[in-house]
Structure 1
Protein backbone atom coordinates (compact mmCIF):
# COMPACT_ATOMS: atom_id res chain seq x y z
CA UNK A 1 0.00 0.00 0.00
CA UNK A 2 2.09 2.90 -1.30
CA UNK A 3 4.88 4.20 0.91
CA UNK A 4 4.11 1.65 3.64
CA UNK A 5 5.66 -1.05 1.41
CA UNK A 6 8.94 0.87 1.15
CA UNK A 7 11.31 0.33 4.08
CA UNK A 8 11.95 3.59 5.91
CA UNK A 9 15.53 4.77 5.70
CA UNK A 10 16.71 7.04 8.46
CA UNK A 11 18.78 9.40 6.34
CA UNK A 12 19.04 12.83 7.92
CA UNK A 13 19.20 16.15 6.10
CA UNK A 14 22.70 16.62 7.57
CA UNK A 15 23.84 13.34 5.98
CA UNK A 16 22.39 14.38 2.62
CA UNK A 17 24.08 17.79 2.82
CA UNK A 18 27.39 16.14 3.71
CA UNK A 19 27.16 13.81 0.72
CA UNK A 20 26.14 16.66 -1.62
CA UNK A 21 29.03 18.88 -0.46
CA UNK A 22 31.53 16.02 -0.79
CA UNK A 23 30.41 15.20 -4.33
CA UNK A 24 30.34 18.84 -5.41
CA UNK A 25 33.88 19.29 -4.12
CA UNK A 26 35.08 16.09 -5.82
CA UNK A 27 33.52 17.15 -9.13
CA UNK A 28 35.10 20.63 -8.97
CA UNK A 29 31.91 22.66 -8.51
CA UNK A 30 32.62 26.33 -7.87
CA UNK A 31 31.40 28.81 -5.24
CA UNK A 32 29.59 26.22 -3.12
CA UNK A 33 27.27 27.85 -0.57
CA UNK A 34 25.08 26.25 2.09
CA UNK A 35 22.16 28.23 3.52
CA UNK A 36 20.19 27.13 6.59
CA UNK A 37 16.48 27.61 5.85
CA UNK A 38 15.12 26.46 9.20
CA UNK A 39 12.71 29.09 10.39
CA UNK A 40 12.70 30.78 6.96
CA UNK A 41 10.87 28.20 4.86
CA UNK A 42 8.63 25.19 5.29
CA UNK A 43 9.84 23.83 1.94
CA UNK A 44 13.28 22.62 3.07
CA UNK A 45 15.82 22.82 5.88
CA UNK A 46 18.92 23.44 3.77
CA UNK A 47 19.68 25.06 0.46
CA UNK A 48 22.92 24.26 -1.37
CA UNK A 49 23.96 26.48 -4.28
CA UNK A 50 26.91 25.81 -6.58
CA UNK A 51 28.18 26.74 -10.01
CA UNK A 52 29.52 24.68 -12.86
CA UNK A 53 31.85 26.09 -15.50
CA UNK A 54 29.54 25.28 -18.44
CA UNK A 55 26.24 23.63 -19.31
CA UNK A 56 28.05 20.31 -19.68
CA UNK A 57 29.66 20.69 -16.23
CA UNK A 58 26.32 21.63 -14.59
CA UNK A 59 24.67 18.60 -16.21
CA UNK A 60 27.47 16.31 -15.06
CA UNK A 61 27.26 17.69 -11.50
CA UNK A 62 23.51 17.01 -11.44
CA UNK A 63 23.98 13.48 -12.78
CA UNK A 64 26.69 12.66 -10.21
CA UNK A 65 24.54 14.01 -7.36
CA UNK A 66 21.49 12.06 -8.49
CA UNK A 67 23.54 8.85 -8.60
CA UNK A 68 25.20 9.51 -5.22
CA UNK A 69 21.86 10.21 -3.53
CA UNK A 70 20.32 7.09 -5.06
CA UNK A 71 23.29 4.98 -3.89
CA UNK A 72 22.87 6.51 -0.43
CA UNK A 73 19.24 5.37 -0.38
CA UNK A 74 17.57 8.76 -0.75
CA UNK A 75 14.29 8.10 -2.52
CA UNK A 76 12.12 10.34 -4.66
CA UNK A 77 14.71 12.97 -5.58
CA UNK A 78 13.17 15.30 -8.14
CA UNK A 79 15.29 16.96 -10.83
CA UNK A 80 14.36 19.91 -13.03
CA UNK A 81 16.37 21.80 -15.61
CA UNK A 82 17.97 18.99 -17.59
CA UNK A 83 18.98 18.73 -20.40
CA UNK A 84 19.36 22.52 -20.80
CA UNK A 85 21.58 22.61 -17.67
CA UNK A 86 21.64 26.39 -17.26
CA UNK A 87 19.97 26.00 -13.86
CA UNK A 88 19.31 22.54 -12.43
CA UNK A 89 17.27 22.05 -9.27
CA UNK A 90 17.50 18.84 -7.24
CA UNK A 91 14.83 18.41 -4.58
CA UNK A 92 15.81 15.80 -1.98
CA UNK A 93 13.08 16.69 0.50
CA UNK A 94 14.68 18.65 3.31
CA UNK A 95 17.65 19.53 1.08
CA UNK A 96 17.36 21.50 -2.15
CA UNK A 97 20.34 21.89 -4.47
CA UNK A 98 20.61 24.59 -7.14
CA UNK A 99 23.31 24.16 -9.79
CA UNK A 100 23.97 27.09 -12.12
CA UNK A 101 26.10 28.33 -14.93
CA UNK A 102 27.88 31.41 -13.47
CA UNK A 103 25.95 33.97 -15.57
CA UNK A 104 22.59 32.48 -14.63
CA UNK A 105 23.57 32.35 -10.95
CA UNK A 106 24.58 36.01 -11.00
CA UNK A 107 21.27 36.96 -12.61
CA UNK A 108 19.04 35.16 -10.08
CA UNK A 109 21.28 35.74 -7.03
CA UNK A 110 19.47 33.28 -4.75
CA UNK A 111 21.97 33.90 -1.95
CA UNK A 112 20.73 37.48 -1.63
CA UNK A 113 17.12 36.30 -1.50
CA UNK A 114 17.55 33.50 1.08
CA UNK A 115 20.36 34.89 3.23
CA UNK A 116 20.57 38.65 2.67
CA UNK A 117 22.35 39.15 5.98
CA UNK A 118 25.20 36.87 4.81
CA UNK A 119 25.50 38.03 1.23
CA UNK A 120 24.74 41.74 1.36
CA UNK A 121 27.26 43.93 -0.49
CA UNK A 122 29.86 45.43 1.80
CA UNK A 123 29.17 49.01 2.86
CA UNK A 124 31.53 51.50 1.28
Structure 2
Protein backbone atom coordinates (compact mmCIF):
# COMPACT_ATOMS: atom_id res chain seq x y z
CA UNK A 1 0.00 0.00 0.00
CA UNK A 2 1.43 3.31 -1.07
CA UNK A 3 0.76 6.49 0.83
CA UNK A 4 0.51 9.81 -0.93
CA UNK A 5 2.90 12.39 0.48
CA UNK A 6 2.21 16.06 0.25
CA UNK A 7 4.84 17.78 -1.79
CA UNK A 8 6.16 20.80 0.04
CA UNK A 9 6.94 23.84 -2.05
CA UNK A 10 10.63 24.72 -2.17
CA UNK A 11 11.71 26.91 0.71
CA UNK A 12 11.95 30.60 -0.03
CA UNK A 13 15.64 31.54 0.12
CA UNK A 14 14.60 34.87 1.61
CA UNK A 15 13.14 33.07 4.62
CA UNK A 16 16.44 31.33 5.34
CA UNK A 17 18.36 34.61 4.99
CA UNK A 18 15.94 36.32 7.38
CA UNK A 19 16.27 33.44 9.85
CA UNK A 20 20.09 33.53 9.64
CA UNK A 21 19.97 37.32 10.07
CA UNK A 22 17.94 36.94 13.28
CA UNK A 23 20.32 34.25 14.57
CA UNK A 24 23.35 36.45 13.92
CA UNK A 25 21.76 39.41 15.71
CA UNK A 26 20.88 37.16 18.66
CA UNK A 27 24.42 35.74 18.81
CA UNK A 28 25.93 39.24 18.74
CA UNK A 29 23.62 40.27 21.56
CA UNK A 30 24.62 37.16 23.54
CA UNK A 31 28.29 38.02 22.96
CA UNK A 32 27.71 41.57 24.25
CA UNK A 33 28.51 43.27 20.96
CA UNK A 34 28.34 47.05 21.14
CA UNK A 35 26.23 49.28 18.86
CA UNK A 36 24.95 46.55 16.56
CA UNK A 37 23.38 47.99 13.41
CA UNK A 38 21.62 46.06 10.67
CA UNK A 39 21.40 47.70 7.25
CA UNK A 40 18.91 46.19 4.80
CA UNK A 41 20.45 46.09 1.32
CA UNK A 42 17.81 44.11 -0.59
CA UNK A 43 16.72 46.17 -3.57
CA UNK A 44 19.51 48.71 -2.95
CA UNK A 45 22.60 46.64 -3.72
CA UNK A 46 23.28 43.31 -5.35
CA UNK A 47 26.10 42.37 -2.95
CA UNK A 48 23.85 41.15 -0.11
CA UNK A 49 20.42 41.37 1.49
CA UNK A 50 21.76 42.54 4.87
CA UNK A 51 24.88 44.13 6.25
CA UNK A 52 25.40 43.89 10.00
CA UNK A 53 27.92 46.15 11.71
CA UNK A 54 28.93 45.70 15.36
CA UNK A 55 31.79 46.50 17.69
CA UNK A 56 33.67 44.59 20.33
CA UNK A 57 35.54 46.22 23.17
CA UNK A 58 38.87 44.61 22.22
CA UNK A 59 40.55 42.66 19.44
CA UNK A 60 40.11 39.52 21.52
CA UNK A 61 36.33 40.04 21.76
CA UNK A 62 36.07 40.86 18.04
CA UNK A 63 37.98 37.66 17.17
CA UNK A 64 35.85 35.57 19.52
CA UNK A 65 32.59 36.96 18.11
CA UNK A 66 33.80 36.32 14.56
CA UNK A 67 34.74 32.70 15.34
CA UNK A 68 31.34 32.04 16.94
CA UNK A 69 29.49 33.61 14.01
CA UNK A 70 31.50 31.57 11.51
CA UNK A 71 30.56 28.38 13.39
CA UNK A 72 26.90 29.45 13.57
CA UNK A 73 26.76 30.27 9.86
CA UNK A 74 28.36 26.93 8.94
CA UNK A 75 25.95 25.05 11.22
CA UNK A 76 22.93 26.82 9.70
CA UNK A 77 23.89 26.87 6.02
CA UNK A 78 26.34 23.98 5.69
CA UNK A 79 28.82 26.37 4.06
CA UNK A 80 31.84 28.01 5.60
CA UNK A 81 31.69 31.80 5.29
CA UNK A 82 34.67 33.72 3.94
CA UNK A 83 36.48 35.59 6.70
CA UNK A 84 38.99 38.42 6.38
CA UNK A 85 40.93 40.19 9.11
CA UNK A 86 41.13 37.53 11.82
CA UNK A 87 44.85 37.78 12.62
CA UNK A 88 44.64 41.38 13.88
CA UNK A 89 40.89 41.34 14.64
CA UNK A 90 40.64 45.13 14.41
CA UNK A 91 38.11 44.76 11.57
CA UNK A 92 36.79 41.31 10.70
CA UNK A 93 34.61 40.81 7.64
CA UNK A 94 32.41 37.72 7.46
CA UNK A 95 30.89 37.09 4.04
CA UNK A 96 28.02 34.63 4.25
CA UNK A 97 26.71 35.29 0.76
CA UNK A 98 23.52 37.31 1.12
CA UNK A 99 24.57 38.46 4.57
CA UNK A 100 27.75 40.39 5.38
CA UNK A 101 28.97 41.05 8.92
CA UNK A 102 31.57 43.66 9.86
CA UNK A 103 33.02 43.44 13.37
CA UNK A 104 35.20 46.29 14.57
CA UNK A 105 37.13 47.65 17.49
CA UNK A 106 35.41 51.00 18.26
CA UNK A 107 38.29 53.23 17.03
CA UNK A 108 38.50 51.41 13.71
CA UNK A 109 34.72 51.49 13.24
CA UNK A 110 34.64 55.21 13.90
CA UNK A 111 37.40 55.79 11.33
CA UNK A 112 35.69 53.88 8.48
CA UNK A 113 32.08 54.80 9.39
CA UNK A 114 30.48 52.14 7.18
CA UNK A 115 26.99 52.89 8.46
CA UNK A 116 27.12 56.35 6.93
CA UNK A 117 28.46 55.03 3.64
CA UNK A 118 25.69 52.43 3.32
CA UNK A 119 22.76 54.40 4.78
CA UNK A 120 21.26 55.23 1.33
CA UNK A 121 19.66 58.34 2.81
CA UNK A 122 17.76 56.25 5.39
CA UNK A 123 19.70 57.74 8.30
CA UNK A 124 19.37 61.44 9.01
CA UNK A 125 22.47 63.53 8.41
CA UNK A 126 23.79 65.69 11.23
CA UNK A 127 22.52 69.26 10.94
CA UNK A 128 24.61 71.49 8.68
CA UNK A 129 26.44 68.63 6.92
CA UNK A 130 26.92 69.23 3.22
CA UNK A 131 26.12 66.42 0.82
CA UNK A 132 29.19 64.84 -0.74
CA UNK A 133 31.70 65.95 1.89
CA UNK A 134 33.73 63.52 3.87
More helix by percentage:
1
Structure 1 ranges of 4+ moved more than 6 A = none
Give the root-mean-square deviation of aligned CA atoms: 1.9
Residue equivalent to 2:8:
none
Instruction: Decide whether the 8 Å contact of 1:74 with 1:92 is kept in 2.
Output: no
TM-score (norm 2): 0.79
Instruction: Decide whether the 8 Å contact of 1:44 with 1:95 is kept in 2.
Output: yes
Decide which structure has the larger Cα Rg and report it: 2
Match among 106, 110, 113 for residue 106 of structure 1: 110
Instruction: Decide whether the 8 Å contact of 1:112 with 1:120 is kept in 2.
Output: no
Distance 2:113 2:89 in 1: 17
Deviations 1:21-77 (A, max 9, x none): 010000000000000111221111100000000100100000110111122234131
What secondary structure sits across from 2:121 in the alignment? helix
Bigger shift: 18-27 or 63-72?
63-72
The number of equivalent residue pairs is 116
